[in-house]
Amino acid sequence: MADLSSFPITRKWPVSNPDIIQLFSYPTPNGVKVSVALEEMALAYEPHLVKLGDKFVKSDAFTSLNPNGKIPAIIDPDGPDGPLALFESGAILIYLAEKSGRFLGQTAADRARIIQWVMFQMGGVGPMFGQLGFFYKFAGKDIDDPRPQERYINEAKRLLGVVDAQLEGQDWIAGDYSIADMALAPWLDALSFYGARDVTGYHDLRNVPAYVDRFYARPAVQRAKNIPDPDA
C-alpha cells in the first residue's frame, strides 16, 4: 500500500485508498476537465471536495499541494518516479493522457495539434470567459464603467468564432475526441452558468451548440460533471 503521509493535504482531506489517484477538486469548468479525463480513461481515483472559499483553497494544507491556491490538483501514488503531486488542469490532462495512452492522438503530429488546442483553452477561453463571468454575472456587473464588460463580451464572441470555424465539418476540436475537448467544452458550457449565451451570440453559431451537446451526451461526462459532489 502506498504511503501518502508525506503530503500535508492528506491530513485535512483524509485518503481512503492511497493506491489510487487522489483528486482534490470542485466541479467548476477547470475541475470538471480532470474528472472527465479520469472517467474517460477509466483510471481509478478518489475524489475529495475542495470548496472554493479561501479557508479551503488558500489553506496551508491545500497550498502544500498547489501553491497557487486553485483547484484542481492530484496526487498519483503510481507516478513515474514515485508519488507525484501535480496542479494546473492542462498539465494534469496531458499527464493523464500520457499515463493512460489515450486521448492524445496516434502520432506526434496529432499530439502537437491536441496540445495546441489545450493551450488555446488555457490561455484564451478560460481566462477570458472567467472575466466575462465576473463582469457579467458576479460582482463586476455593478461597476458603472461599461468597458470591462464590453471587452470580455467581445473577446468571448471572437473566441467562440475561432472554435466554431475549427469545428466546421468535424465533431471534435482537434480531429478525434481528445483531451482538447475535455479542456474546452466545459468552458463553453460555462456561458450558460454565467447567463451569457445570448449576449455572446452562442445560439447563432453553426457548430458550437451541437458540439457542447455532443460532449455532454457522453456517458463518462455525465458521470463526471458533478464530481466531486458539490453537495457532499
Domains and CATH numbers, the chain: 9-102 (3.40.30.10), 108-220 (1.20.1050.10)
pLDDT in tens, 149-198: 999 999 999 999 999 999 999 999 999 999 999 999 999 999 999 999 99
Among 74, 89, 87, 70, smallest CA distance to 30 is for: 89
Provide the total of helices (H) and of strands (E) in the chain, helices listed first. Answer: 11, 4
Whether residue 144 has pLDDT greater than 90: no
The count of other CB atoms within 10 Å of the CB of residue 12 is 15
State mean pLDDT over 84-88: 98
For the chain, percent of residues with pLDDT exceeding 90: 96
What global pTM score does this model have? 0.96
pLDDT in tens, 36-50: 999 999 999 999 999
Residue 102 identity: R
Whether residue 232 has pLDDT greater than 80: no
- What is the per-residue pLDDT for 205? 98
Give backbone dihedrals phi and psi of 192, rounded to 5 degrees, phi first.
-70, -45
According to DSSP, residue 82 is labeled B
* Residue owning grid cell 477561453: 125
Rounded to 10 deg, the angle between the 29-40 and 126-136 helix axes is 140
State mean pLDDT over 85-91: 98
Whether residue 24 has pLDDT greater than 90: yes
The count of other CB atoms within 10 Å of the CB of residue 111 is 17
Tell me the C-alpha to C-alpha distance, in Å, between residue 3 and each of 95, 158, 226, 230. 21, 48, 28, 27
